[in-house]
Amino acid sequence: MSFEFLEPDRGAPELGFEPVPASALLPQAREAGANVDVRQGWQVATDYGSLERELQACRATAGFGDSSWLGKIELQGPADSLTAVAAAAGGEGIVLGRATHAADAWWCPYSDRRVIVVCEPERTPALRESLESAAADKPVSVTDLTCALAAVTLVGPLATEVLARQTAIDLRPTTTPECSFRPGSVARIPASVIRERGDRYVLMFGSAYAQYMWAQLTDAAEPLGAYMVGSDALARVREEVATGA
């Protein structure tokens, strides 16, 4: 069975079909007053009217924003074959429970037979093609789940608290340190959590639950003084962490 319909970069412009994909959360973003622009091939909520206020939330309390445009590629197959395919595409050193950053992507194992790779949208087509090429002669499936899974990024000193109010996953630093991957249940639906570096989390879940999850996170965040933020604030804060600013 082909799953190419899930791959937003495989439109057919020569047939007059060149879609600009949008997150399942875009209607909620627009309703909340988001400014929307096309970034990296996606319709994106860039800000909610005040970049400075959003940056202040990310630095002082927490900010949460849609990041469903992140590429999400799932590998499944026998452990040895899957490890070989991942290594051929740059994903070496994958460890259960860890989010390994390699080849400009996060390699996150659910088990030794199933891994999800998360990357920036401009990286997705090349990485998927590299994985497909490596898997051509191996019993490993490569499925682009970018459109099947929604994602929300949470950033800031209270990001852990916002997320902890919706999940029983143990997010304490001793259990979930930086560069960790934790699949489980969030707001009573199947989800998975990547803790990147610093107080930054990426929460992934089925796109069908996008509106429900957004409402749950909003209810958890607002009493803590946390705000929804756009892609510009999320990108700026990530740069600050990377440069130590």
Among 141, 148, 245, 135, CA closest to 198: 245
Q: What is the pLDDT of residue 14?
A: 58
Positions of the chain with pLDDT under 70: 1-18, 244-245
Q: What is the pLDDT of residue 1?
A: 42
Sorted by sequence, the CB contacts under 8 Å of residue 243 that are 6+ apart come out as none
Q: What is the CATH number of the domain that holds 109?
A: 3.30.70.1400
Q: Do residues 92 and 81 both lie within one domain?
A: yes
Report the chain's C-alpha Rg in angstroms.
Answer: 18
Contact (Cβ atoms closer than 8 angstroms) between residue 150 and residue 210:
yes
Q: Do residues 62 and 83 both lie within one domain?
A: no
Instruction: Return the SS3 of 203.
Output: strand
Q: What is the pLDDT of residue 161?
A: 96
The number of domains in the chain is 2
Whole-angstrom distance, CA of residue 85 vs CA of residue 29: 38
Q: What is the pLDDT of residue 242?
A: 72
